[in-house]
Amino acid sequence: MVHDPVPIKNNTYVLGIIIGSYLIILVDTSIIMTGLPHIQAEIGLSPTTLSWAQSIYTLFFGGFLLIGARACDALGARKALEAGLWIFMTASIAIAGVQSPSWLLFARAFRGLGAAFVAPAALALLALHFKEGEERNRAVAWYGSTAGIGASVGMVLGGWLADVLSWRAGFLLNLPLSSLLIFASRRYLHENPPQKIRFDFPGAILSTSGFGSLIYGVSRTAVHGWLSTDVLTFLIVSVALLALLVWHENRTASPLIPLMLFSSRRRVGAYLARFLFLGPMVAFFFFGSEFMQESLHFSALKAGLAFLPMTVFACLSPALVPGLIRRFGDSPVMIGGLLLIFVGLQWLSHMPYPAEFWRSIALPMILIGAGQGFCLAPMTAAGISEIDVRHVGAASGVLNMAHQVGASFGLGLIASVATAADANDVSDTALNTLTSSTAAFSFGSWMVLLGAIIGGFLMRSRRTLNTAFRPDGPSL
């Protein structure tokens, strides 16, 4: 049985709190991208420590994500959100005061733990407060547009603060913002009743170690390659642990991941589309920023500002999504958005040498921004559709896991393609950057197209999948 969301008095405040909580993670992730070179220069980070500073956050975020998601069901989504914001705020203050490499690594790991609670709690609260259908589609459209907006704003804000004040200032912003969100959540958000769930300790250990091994192994591919002993060992271990997790979850009375979540073709289609879409989007920001700084000689701040054409259209296009879904359905809208991104990335993959910003970069950015605004809402709404209130946290966690693992795995795969395509011309760094970047955009575009085909096909049907999973109580 699927429960209706709780009644709310002010949708605007509720949606603002949910989006603000999600946005704070996204902006902070972009700020660290612009801040790390300054941190490296000030503290004296070795290349190995710098690499760890980038990956340890993702490792803890992805590793503890399902635990944070299940906490939404066991404790209540609002309490889980507030706990995550407290952890995230504390860790941000610690990073702002960092004095040593070990201090930085610990704070980054702690921050990832906070994000592992905030991300699924924000999406669970959206499902709890907005009724499935047009009301939720409208809310999810704005929630989905946050991804592109947050990344762009974070890069601009981080670059400006690092140049004008200090890289530390960007992290101190979390103190007032997180405090305001915690206060507002207690005033405006309802709480879903905590469930009497026996915590699945074996599942928690298997999921954390399995997904952690997968993310860590993929993060090492940029340095060691996919066929190195180091990478293959972690990937094989992750496959074994995740297979054991599925076996265990199918037999336990109180699973960390109710496997019946995967019985819906719509939800599975949404998970796969999100998984295939995120890597190319992260690669777009990573290689796009690198290209503009290396080939066009933009400053970090100017490179951040250069993403604004995409941000504007990522912000405007969600207003059209509810009407388009009402007329065509969620699958065609998602496919249309992914096809716009495919065309935009293909355009970028054919940049001339030397490239000109407005014609070669800004115009395809507009397509990518609009496409993101169109596709994220339907794939998010489908991923949390037809869910009983008892499992809304778990469903949000699975969708976020597809997001997180897709981003890590996709970026690692695309980065290896870009490295292989590098011209290796020691006399022309701009040419090297152009060659590797266009290869990344081209490969990423085909991943997006594959997501449109697979995800769109599955989401078109509401039939359940034939599974051997043990039924988990009443229908989800």
296 or 474: whose pLDDT is higher?
Answer: 296
pLDDT number for residue 429: 67
Task: Categorize the per-residue pLDDT at 338 as very low, low, confident or very high, splitting at 50, 70 and 90.
Answer: very high
pLDDT number for residue 7: 45
> What ranges do the domains of the chain cover?
11-199+254-459, 200-253
pLDDT number for residue 6: 47
* Lowest-pLDDT choice from 243-247, 348-352, 468-472: 468-472
Q: Indicate the CATH number for domain 11-199+254-459.
A: 1.20.1250.20
Over 50: is that where the pLDDT of 64 sits? yes
Per-residue pLDDT tens over the stretch 171-199: 888 888 899 999 998 888 877 666 666 77
Task: Categorize the per-residue pLDDT at 475 as very low, low, confident or very high, splitting at 50, 70 and 90.
Answer: very low
SS (H, E, C) 325-392: HHHHCHHHHHHHHHHHHHHHHHHHCCCCCCCCHHHHHHHHHHHHHHHHHHHHHHHHHHHCCCCCHHHH
127-142 mean pLDDT: 79
Task: Categorize the per-residue pLDDT at 9 as very low, low, confident or very high, splitting at 50, 70 and 90.
Answer: very low
Q: Which amino acid does the sequence have at 474?
A: P
251-259 mean pLDDT: 78
Over 50: is that where the pLDDT of 115 sits? yes
Task: Categorize the per-residue pLDDT at 365 as very low, low, confident or very high, splitting at 50, 70 and 90.
Answer: very high
pLDDT number for residue 127: 82
Tokens 């490239």 belong to 355
Mean pLDDT score of the chain: 80
Q: Give the whole-number percent of the chain exceeding pLDDT 90.
A: 14
Over 60: is that where the pLDDT of 215 sits? yes
Over 70: is that where the pLDDT of 419 sits? yes
Q: What is the spatial distance between Cα 281 and Cα 439, in angstroms, rounded to a whole number?
A: 14
pLDDT number for residue 182: 92
Per-residue pLDDT tens over the stretch 71-81: 887 788 899 99
Over 50: is that where the pLDDT of 281 sits? yes
377-406 mean pLDDT: 79
* Lowest-pLDDT choice from 161-170, 272-281, 384-393, 424-433: 424-433
Over 90: is that where the pLDDT of 462 sits? no
0.95 exceeded by pTM = no
